[in-house]
Amino acid sequence: MGNISANKLGGLGLLIGPGLATILFLVVFMVLGNTGSGDPRNLVESWNQQTGLAHLLGLLPGISLLFFLYGINTLYNDVKENGQNEALFRLGGMGVFFGILGIVISIGLNSATQFEGIVGPDESSKYTISLIAGAIQSYTGLIFAIGFSLIALVMSTNKEGIHKIFAYVVALIGLINIVVSFINFADTSTWEATFVITPITYIVISIWTATLGLDLMKK
């Protein structure tokens, strides 16, 4: 087995991790026909509408985001050695960690609603499990948005030209997600209307982290 440097592996994590998760999200919720309403009251119905293939693909984003987390840690080391504001980056990295942890946990809980066997969960239990999963993912999603916004602001101080502007755009999108998250927690009826922000956020973040990953792999 050949040797691969931390920068190359971390760069691959930034390049592939969010991008793969975004592609899987678009395939599961768009291509396979279950767009989801984003409403926590319809989680069970949306989940049950998915095909077996959609369920299987839905397990993969958590794995790809763990790869992304390694990329974030490698990027932190690069900022610590060659950049500035590494303390703020580390704080943001903690937010990203808890956001990814929430996604992993919510995927596991939603998968539990599909367990069958001699005694499978009844509809009431499935509804409760899905609500818990949705609440965890929503709250940790808020933490993720805060953390990622901090990272984007840090990178804006360590980049020049178009890369600095891109970092500010990502930070702005993160701020929008923070505000929307608070609104959604105050009134869950807004979830369906604001759900469209999710794929846009995923796509922008994936493109931005891909540029960071390519830059990191050159070092």
Residue 70 vs residues 75, 104, 120: alpha-carbon distances, Å: 9, 15, 36
pLDDT average, residue stretch 105-113: 80
Q: What is the pLDDT of residues 49-85, one digit of tens each?
A: 556 666 677 778 888 898 999 999 999 998 988 888 9
At residue 145, the pLDDT reads 93
Q: Which of 83, 60, 64 is nearest to 15 (CA)?
A: 64
* 35-38: long-range contacts, CB 8 A cutoff, minimum separation 24: 36/195, 37/191, 37/192, 37/195, 38/191, 38/192, 38/194, 38/195, 38/198
pLDDT average, residue stretch 99-126: 73
Q: Which of 22, 18, 64, 16 is nearest to 198 (CA)?
A: 22
Classify residue 56 as exposed, middle or buried by CB count within 10 Å of its CB (0-12, 13-18, 19+). Answer: exposed
Its pTM stands at 0.84
Of the two residues 98 and 51, the one the predictor is more confident about is 98
Q: What is the pLDDT of residues 132-190, one digit of tens each?
A: 887 888 899 899 999 999 999 999 998 888 889 999 999 999 999 999 888 888 877 77
At residue 193, the pLDDT reads 72
